[in-house]
């Protein structure tokens, strides 16, 4: 008795295709992650906010778990650069198995273009509880000032 080839219906193919694409993506992603031999070579960027007040700008950088000695800040050509490294909080032994990891470790780097109205030589920094706060004063020329105008009738 001869076996007939199994024919798949168009409905089977419609429902199977998205799942086969998802399985292929998962396989490719898992392979790419497992091929990262040295995770410390990955450079990540911390979360940054920049706000403006009348007389200054403030840059707030979240760096939880980072020691202040491991952070460097410099400005060149009106670009603020923040670099450093976050070290792992545990020692990896030969047989250490990591079951889940979402904390970024290793080197970090971020650059922010500063406005032209700042006094770079007067930048101050504070580092407390894993938060770096930079105070960047505006130049005197650029600060707004209020002028009283006397109205005559």
pLDDT digits (tens, 9 = 90+) for 43-66: 889 999 999 999 999 999 999 999
Q: What is the mean pLDDT of residues 120-135?
A: 95
> pLDDT at position 89, please?
80
Q: What is the mean pLDDT of residues 62-88?
A: 93
pLDDT digits (tens, 9 = 90+) for 5-33: 666 666 666 667 777 777 887 877 766 66
Best CA proximity match to 74, nearest among 111, 30, 19, 24: 111
CA distances from 36 to 29, 40, 92, 142 (A): 11, 9, 16, 48
Spacing of C-alpha 55 from chain mean position: 27
The more confident residue out of 124 and 95 is: 124
Global pTM reads: 0.65
Token pair in block for residue 85:
């490294």
Q: How far apart are CA 136 and CA 115, in angstroms?
A: 10
Best CA proximity match to 70, nearest among 94, 46, 103: 46
As a whole number, the mean pLDDT across the chain is 82
């Amino acid at each position: 008795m001869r076996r007939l080839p199994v024919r798949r219906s168009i409905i089977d193919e419609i429902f199977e295709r998205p799942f086969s694409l998802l399985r292929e993506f998962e396989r490719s992603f898992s392979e790419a992650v497992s091929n990262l031999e040295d995770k410390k070579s990955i450079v990540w960027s911390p979360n940054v906010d920049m706000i403006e007040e009348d007389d200054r700008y403030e840059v707030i950088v979240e760096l939880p778990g980072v020691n202040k000695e491991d952070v460097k800040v410099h400005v060149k050509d009106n670009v603020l650069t923040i670099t450093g490294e976050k070290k792992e909080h545990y020692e990896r032994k030969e047989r250490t198995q990591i079951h889940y990891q979402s904390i970024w470790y290793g080197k970090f780097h971020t650059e922010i273009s500063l406005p032209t109205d700042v006094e770079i030589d007067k930048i101050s920094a504070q580092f407390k509880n894993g938060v770096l706060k930079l105070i960047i004063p505006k130049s005197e020329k650029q600060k707004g000032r209020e002028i009283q105008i006397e109205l005559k009738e």
